[in-house]
Amino acid sequence: MCIASSQSWPRGLDSAQHLADSDAYRRDRRKDALLQENGYFVLRFLAEDVGTHLDDVLDAILRALACRQRNRS
């Protein structure tokens, strides 16, 4: 699921059962590719992980943003 905010920053969360559906998985990969082709940076997390491992998710986001920032310099 991808939701665009007023700042044009797409974000969304997937459920575990979502990944079990091969059609949904393929749709998500196509959406990811389209977003990336248009300059968006895509990170995907399971909703369950956000609920139970929020610190790990936030750490992964910060690491990805830091790496992206370094690569732009």
Q: Tell me the per-residue pLDDT of 15-49, one tens digit each, with 9 for 90 and over.
A: 777 778 888 888 888 988 998 898 888 888 888 88
Tokens of 44: 């995907």
With bands split at pLDDT 50, 70 and 90, how would you rate the model's confidence at 4? very low
In a domain, 28, yes or no: yes
CA distances from 33 to 3, 6, 26, 40, 56 (A): 16, 22, 11, 9, 25
DSSP 34-53: HHHHTT------BHHHHHH-
Q: Read off the amino acid at residue 43.
A: L
Residue 21 is part of which domain span? 16-72
Q: Read off the amino acid at residue 51.
A: G
> What pTM did the predictor assign?
0.69
In a domain, 61, yes or no: yes
In a domain, 9, yes or no: no
The pLDDT score that the predictor gives to residue 8 is 53
In a domain, 10, yes or no: no
**Residue position matching structure tokens 């959406």:** 31
Domains held by the chain: number: 1
In a domain, 30, yes or no: yes
Q: Tell me the per-residue pLDDT of 47-61, one tens digit each, with 9 for 90 and over.
A: 888 899 999 999 998
In a domain, 21, yes or no: yes
